[in-house]
Structure 1
Amino acid sequence: MAEATNPSTLTADMWRDLSNAEQVAAFKRLPPGEDDEFFLSLTAREQSELVLGLPEVERRLWVRILAPDDVADLVQESPEEQRGLLMRYLDYATEREVSALLAYAEDEAGGLMSTRYARLRSEMTVDEAIAYLRRQAGQVETIYYAYVLDQEQRLLGVASFRDLFSAERGKHVNDVMRTRFVSVGEDTDQEDVARLFEEHGLLAVPVLDEQGRMKGLVTVDDIVDVVEEEASEDIQRLGGMQALEAPYMATRFGELVRKRAGWLAILFVGEMLTATAMAHYEQEIEKAVVLAVFIPLIISSGGNSGSQATTLVIRAMALGEVRSRDWWRVVRREFFAGLVLGSILAVIGLCRILLWHAVAGSYGQHYWKVGLTVAFSLLGVVLFGTLSGSMLPFILKRAGLDPASASAPFVATLVDVTGLVIYFSVAAALLRGSLL
């Protein structure tokens, strides 16, 4: 532990292995200057835990070094009973800015934006604009672009520093600004904002209200956190649970159970349908016990193929590679993919049965029919699993739900039931008069 609390070796990974008391002690040992840098490198939740662990007389300093949008994140990550106390550490102007940001949902552009950005007037000369930006530099969080506003704070255009410094002397800002720009609304979902950054290669994007007035600025630094958060949520949903709102170790036990119990119960009810389907085919299983041997093989193959298709389509949707209008193209691709994949497994399954029978004589005189039953069932189940797995995200999106809710366990459960129906339907067709 001595190494973990040594200021010269303190890293983010070491930090997360320390208790809150150890974190406070290690932080206080950091040299002046390094403590600022380390504090700013922490996540909002880690900053909140550290600040609340410090003596009250020291908290004000660390809350006040943050930009308003970062303070808003820190407050949101703090226990509700502590939020009012943290807000009291701010000066009046900053408190108003933070309160305005807290009015937005966390996952909207308004909740991500900074209200401190470089502003210009269109009537300024280029020289006046450059001099003004120099004076503004210490008051804004980042300067990627300068935003040209009218008297009503409506956004007229955007000027890059290259535009300003390369302009001829005496020109006005409205001569060099760009009037075509990408912007987002206050309530734009953070995932859509992240997609805009990727599509247009942006460093920052202005946030406008319904009247076109500029309310703030979302920077690429904010989007890095969004991408990580959205990826974590999608992975958790794909695993068949609700997304956690806090890091795993910071999530209360009751919350952890609640997030998982709902989907687990739904999946259990779905598996009960599988048991019902097996009971329906009980007579067939009694007549041809050999069919029961291959039930796990059949339904797991369908579930696996469906889970693969679901994962591929959800990821393609998240990256913007597939839109809702592309559903028919996806159906065609997955239909042929399902045929090929099902055929591969069918051949493997048939060869396995023939080989086992040749070695041990396991499947009786109708082994060829058993082999063909398994082969055709695999083809049908894999094809159905692939198609249903690829279409479920589109159906959910059409219904206004998150496509990532089409979890792999959910698809597997769906295919389990239909897989049994397909298997015993094929068996009834091929084995009637022999084993059945």
Structure 2
Amino acid sequence: MNTDRFNMEAAALAGYTSADAVEHLNTFEPADAASLLAVLPQEQAIEILEQPELQNAPEIINEMRPNVAVRLLNEVANDRLTDIFQELDETSRARLISGLDHKVRIAIQKLMRYPERTAGSLMTTEFVSVPGDWTVGQTLDLVKRVQGTRETVYAIYVLDPDNGTLQTVVTLRRLITGEPDDPVLSVAQTDTLVTVSPLEDQADVAHEIRRHNMLALPVVDESRHILGIVTVDDMIDAMIEDSTDDALKFGGMETLDKPYMKIGFFSMIRKRAGWLAALFLGEMLTASAMQHYEIALEKAIVLTLFIPLIMSSGGNSGSQATSLLIRSLALQEIRLRDWWRVALREIPTGITLGAILGAIGVIRIIIWQKAGFYDYGEHWVLIAITVGFALVGIVTFGSFTGSMLPFILQRIGFDPASASAPFVATLVDVTGLIIYFSVAVAVLSGTLL
């Protein structure tokens, strides 16, 4: 970037909001983005680095002079700083972490110990806490002093003055209604305090935040000492990332670790080829099933006309059931122990849906036969019956299989989203053909077969 353009871009960025600046910086290479960040006012540069939407943040940090990078990173919120450090390579991480303030370094080293997708990995250690023997006035004075260095001040956590354990929480709304000389505990919430452990799964954390309509959820250890808080905005960022991962899994591919336009050609091939190859091998079983019924196909070639119809109907019903169950499991509307209730619900649902599609298929054959659009032969009535009953069986099997797969995958420790639509469709394709030809043999035996 030449000097004139650099000065123009720097001047433009200085007038942007943080969100607009992030979008603009995402269009630059990391080296140019790093140079622009380095000349921005420090407060604005920190706000930009704290945005999860900033792409290539680790690469941008690597392109900065170490002293500039450390100066900015020391002021970034600990949870966001932890995310950046986890994406840095070992050499860069070691180089930068040694220059951080001792307090910041200790905080992110603790946060980095927690597994991904847990409360500990999402929480921030920058929260406001006060002893239980403080007054409302003392607490308000503290909030005024530290509000610029805390991620949120909407909740103040009250600790036991003797052992430091978490007693209760005071919302800022209730705090400002108290008299300065009132004990802070007099304006504390009276409901049971909701907490989570640092190893709590992030889906469970999201469920608690949503269920109790909270802005922040305290994370405590076994002795009820507060370790940090998970804020609702951090939870939203995590859930958006999860939703993106699930959407890719639904499509039958690996998660992208970079924006689409920044993924290299060979990286894209690697992330897509594995699933496609696995699905292709699965579809080979379809050819094997058809080979098994080769003689039946030779005798009743008309049956091949309905193979695409049969296969797509089973796959669609299975994909519907899978999508519904994955969502319900994610929202904790159902648990693993509810699998049998789901099965009892999906079997009659599948039969009904199959009957509807079967009736449509039969009506279609009758219209085509009677109107002269196509002649299905002298046994067209039996062919219509075959298609109708086959659709009932295939849609029922698809609904049942699609609803049970998420339970099975979660039970053995896999992400239920791995039961993607292509995977379910492939499984149902093979079994659908077997059901179709089995019905055909039973109905058409002695006539066409």
Pair in the same fold by TM > 0.5: yes
Which of 376, 379, 385 is residue 389 of structure 2 equivalent to?
Answer: 376
Which of 137, 143, 150 is residue 133 of structure 1 equivalent to?
Answer: 143
Deviations 1:56-100 (A, max 9, x none): 442222222212222111111223331112213311221111111
Corresponding residue number in structure 2 for 1:47: 57
- Indicate how the Cα distance of structure 1 residues 183 and 245 shifts in structure 2: closer, same or farther if over 3 A, else same: farther
Q: In 1, Cα distance between the equivalents of 2:254 and 2:305?
A: 35
Which of 144, 153, 160 is residue 171 of structure 2 equivalent to?
Answer: 160
Q: In 1, Cα distance between the equivalents of 2:127 and 2:389?
A: 64
- Tell me how far 1:16 sits from its aligned partner: 2.5
- Structure 2 residue identity aligned to 1:331: A
- Structure 2 residue identity aligned to 1:141: E
Q: Is the 8 A contact 2:45 2:72 kept in 1?
A: no
Which of 308, 331, 342 is residue 320 of structure 2 equivalent to?
Answer: 308
Q: In 1, Cα distance between the equivalents of 2:189 and 2:87?
A: 38
Give secondary structure in 2 for the equivalent of 1:41.
coil
Which of 242, 248, 251 is residue 239 of structure 1 equivalent to?
Answer: 251
Q: In 1, Cα distance between the equivalents of 2:88 and 2:421?
A: 33
Q: In 2, Cα distance between the equivalents of 1:153 and 1:255?
A: 50
Which of 334, 345, 350 is residue 362 of structure 2 equivalent to?
Answer: 350
- Indicate how the Cα distance of structure 1 residues 434 and 277 shifts in structure 2: closer, same or farther if over 3 A, else same: same
- Tell me how far 1:314 sits from its aligned partner: 0.8
- Indicate how the Cα distance of structure 1 residues 400 and 47 shifts in structure 2: closer, same or farther if over 3 A, else same: closer
- Structure 2 residue identity aligned to 1:105: P
Deviations 1:155-182 (A, max 9, x none): 1111122333333554323343336211
Higher mean C-alpha deviation, range 376-385 or range 4-13: 4-13
Corresponding residue number in structure 2 for 1:61: 71
Give secondary structure in 2 for the equivalent of 1:185.
coil
Q: In 1, Cα distance between the equivalents of 2:205 and 2:258?
A: 22
Q: In 1, Cα distance between the equivalents of 2:290 and 2:414?
A: 32
Does residue 112 (structure 1) correspond to residue 125 (structure 2)? The answer is no
Give secondary structure in 2 for the equivalent of 1:147.
strand
Q: In 1, Cα distance between the equivalents of 2:114 and 2:42?
A: 35
TM score, norm. by length of structure 2? 0.88
Does residue 142 (structure 1) correspond to residue 152 (structure 2)? The answer is yes
Q: In 2, Cα distance between the equivalents of 1:357 and 1:196?
A: 59
Which of 60, 66, 70 is residue 80 of structure 2 equivalent to?
Answer: 70
TM score, norm. by length of structure 1? 0.90
- Structure 2 residue identity aligned to 1:20: P
Q: Is the 8 A contact 1:191 1:230 kept in 2?
A: no
- Indicate how the Cα distance of structure 1 residues 88 and 264 shifts in structure 2: closer, same or farther if over 3 A, else same: same
Give secondary structure in 2 for the equivalent of 1:157.
strand
Q: In 2, Cα distance between the equivalents of 1:360 and 1:17?
A: 57
- Tell me how far 1:339 sits from its aligned partner: 2.7
Corresponding residue number in structure 1 for 2:201: 189
Which of 397, 408, 422 is residue 435 of structure 2 equivalent to?
Answer: 422
Q: Is the 8 A contact 2:322 2:421 kept in 1?
A: yes
Q: In 1, Cα distance between the equivalents of 2:291 and 2:35?
A: 63
Q: Is the 8 A contact 2:22 2:54 kept in 1?
A: no
- Indicate how the Cα distance of structure 1 residues 27 and 139 shifts in structure 2: closer, same or farther if over 3 A, else same: closer
Q: In 2, Cα distance between the equivalents of 1:83 and 1:32?
A: 22
Deviations 1:231-286 (A, max 9, x none): 11211222223434454455566655554444434323322222221121111111
Higher mean C-alpha deviation, range 252-261 or range 277-286: 252-261
Higher mean C-alpha deviation, range 399-408 or range 324-333: 324-333
Corresponding residue number in structure 2 for 1:412: 425
Higher mean C-alpha deviation, range 4-13 or range 273-282: 4-13
- Where structure 2 has 5 or more consecutive residues not aligned to the other structure, the ranges are none
- Structure 1 residue identity aligned to 2:280: F
Deviations 1:30-56 (A, max 9, x none): 567654444443546533232222334
Q: Is the 8 A contact 2:195 2:220 kept in 1?
A: yes
- Tell me how far 1:397 sits from its aligned partner: 2.4
Corresponding residue number in structure 2 for 1:290: 302
Corresponding residue number in structure 1 for 2:184: 173
Which of 362, 366, 391 is residue 375 of structure 2 equivalent to?
Answer: 362
Q: In 1, Cα distance between the equivalents of 2:292 and 2:298?
A: 12
Q: In 1, Cα distance between the equivalents of 2:196 and 2:252?
A: 32
RMSD of the TM alignment (CA)? Answer: 2.7
Q: Is the 8 A contact 1:44 1:77 kept in 2?
A: no
- Structure 2 residue identity aligned to 1:243: T
Q: In 1, Cα distance between the equivalents of 2:72 and 2:434?
A: 63
Q: Is the 8 A contact 2:342 2:403 kept in 1?
A: yes
Q: In 2, Cα distance between the equivalents of 1:265 and 1:203?
A: 44
- Indicate how the Cα distance of structure 1 residues 26 and 167 shifts in structure 2: closer, same or farther if over 3 A, else same: closer
Give secondary structure in 1 for the equivalent of 2:176.
helix
Q: In 1, Cα distance between the equivalents of 2:269 and 2:250?
A: 17
Higher mean C-alpha deviation, range 297-306 or range 89-98: 89-98
Q: In 2, Cα distance between the equivalents of 1:33 and 1:68?
A: 16
Give secondary structure in 2 for the equivalent of 1:52.
helix
Total equivalences in the alignment: 436
Deviations 1:367-411 (A, max 9, x none): 111122112111211111112111221222233332212111111
Q: Is the 8 A contact 2:26 2:55 kept in 1?
A: no
- Tell me how far 1:189 sits from its aligned partner: 1.4
Q: Is the 8 A contact 2:74 2:100 kept in 1?
A: yes
- Where structure 1 has 5 or more consecutive residues not aligned to the other structure, the ranges are none
Corresponding residue number in structure 1 for 2:210: 198
- Indicate how the Cα distance of structure 1 residues 192 and 261 shifts in structure 2: closer, same or farther if over 3 A, else same: farther
Does residue 396 (structure 1) correspond to residue 406 (structure 2)? The answer is no
- Percent identity, please: 44
- Indicate how the Cα distance of structure 1 residues 96 and 251 shifts in structure 2: closer, same or farther if over 3 A, else same: farther
Q: In 2, Cα distance between the equivalents of 1:115 and 1:134?
A: 18
Q: Is the 8 A contact 2:325 2:406 kept in 1?
A: yes
